[in-house]
Amino acid sequence: MTTQYFTRIASPIGDLLLVSDGDALTALHMEQTRYPVALWPSAREDRRVFKPAIAQLEAYFAGELRDFDLPLAPAGTPFQMRVWKALRAIPFGETQSYGELANDLGDRNASRAVGLANGRNPIGIVVPCHRVIGANGALTGYGGGIERKRWLLAHEKRVAQGI
């Protein structure tokens, strides 16, 4: 049986819960989220497991990192995995609509399914589901709250523009 590790870190958008199997990041959740992670009763708090993730998150929030390079192991359906992989291809500081993402995945009519998969993303920020917006440019649903989505997009825009 795999061991589950976790730690919590402070960030400009509130506390973040990081979860790992010891080899890869399996979850990154904000303190208030639509689908909170359930830690196993045997989960062990061990900040050392997350040293690279913490360093990269700190650099991201400081405006010094645009692309994360961490081993990831999200659990999901094959379709969700395709969506989460596509999310990582959205460039830093840019956004894409659910319909555009569905089209990129080969089914322009799958925007609702893309939205559902996006909402189930277990590794927020690193897998940038916050970069997906409505077709009209609206900041539609975000598991961590619209205020956090707005902050993350504004942060990335400032960094991308060198402000």
Give the 3-state secondary structure of 78-120.
HHHHHHHHHHCCCCCCCCEEHHHHHHHCCCCCCHHHHHHHHHC
Query: What pLDDT, on the 0 to 100 scale, is given for residue 34?
Result: 60
Per-residue pLDDT at 17 exceeds 80: yes
- Kindly state the average pLDDT of the residues 113-131: 94
Per-residue pLDDT at 41 exceeds 70: yes
Domains and their CATH numbers in the chain? 5-61 (3.30.160), 78-160 (1.10.10.10)
- Of the candidates 109, 40, 105, 96, which has an alpha carbon nearest to the alpha carbon of residue 78? 105
- Kindly state the average pLDDT of the residues 64-81: 96
pLDDT digits (tens, 9 = 90+) for 95-109: 999 999 999 999 888
Query: What pLDDT, on the 0 to 100 scale, is given for residue 35?
Result: 61
Task: For 23-77, give the DSSP string.
Answer: SSEEEEEESS-SS-----TT-EE-GGGGHHHHHHHHHHHTT--SS----B-----
Active site residues: 129
- Of the candidates 35, 37, 14, which has an alpha carbon nearest to the alpha carbon of residue 27? 37
Share of the chain above pLDDT 70, in %: 96
